[in-house]
Structure 1
Amino acid sequence: MDSIIFLFSLFFALELFESNWQKSDTLYGLLDNNYQVYKKNIFLYFIMNPTFLFSLYLAITLNNFGFWMISIIVLKFLDISMRLNVMQKIDKDEEITTLVPFDINMNIYLRYMNILIYIPALTFALFL
């Protein structure tokens, strides 16, 4: 049980890390933060998004391939894929307003939406 709590706490800390390095006041600012890391190195970009790999690690080591764990992995995969797609289009000098037509303000709920979604899902995956 202690190891599960440790893994859960580590997942929470990694989610906070992801939220904080991407932090910005607007959606375009968030995309710019992602693009700055993507521009440096694609591998650095994946390292800066550790919860996808950690989710895979949890699923394999805990032999947990239930609905909730697979949902976390699929959502994280789609999230990273979508952001990489946007980064590639920005790299090709496409206008950001054609990709994302509106720039919304990132309030605290949007900024930490990943924690509000993934932590309860991980709780269900580990304890149900």
Structure 2
Amino acid sequence: MKLIPQWVCLFLLKSGIADLVSPVFWLSGTPATDFINTLTKNKDLQLVFSYFFYGVPPKESSVLINALLIHHYKRGAYYPKGGASEIAFHIIQTIQKYGGNCLVRAPVSQILVDEKGSAYGEK
């Protein structure tokens, strides 16, 4: 669609011709609730399926975007390789680069906060 003029894209999308070429166009404009209603009439199942949709209510959410997110998370996007400790391990260099320090199990008696409410240190 990026290779053709915008007016042609709009015509293809608004006329429904694009939906005939690929289901992607139909799915991207279909709210999750409409799609869920085609899967089952069981209200309990519809409620369960609606929990799979992220960010906005299912009636405002695109089926295609949510399918892409679910596929992304199924492949392990929610958990870093090597475990959650990898996040802290890899951010240490950045913290030290900007003058910070990373201590483990260090006793802290007070968090220092400036007049704007931003934390800048500890005691």
| TM-score over 0.5 (shorter chain) | no
TM-score w.r.t. the length of structure 2 is 0.24
Higher RCO by CA contacts (8 Å cutoff, separation 6 or greater)? 1
TM-score w.r.t. the length of structure 1 is 0.24
More strand by share: 2
More helix by share: 1
Higher Cα Rg: structure 1 or 2?
A: 2
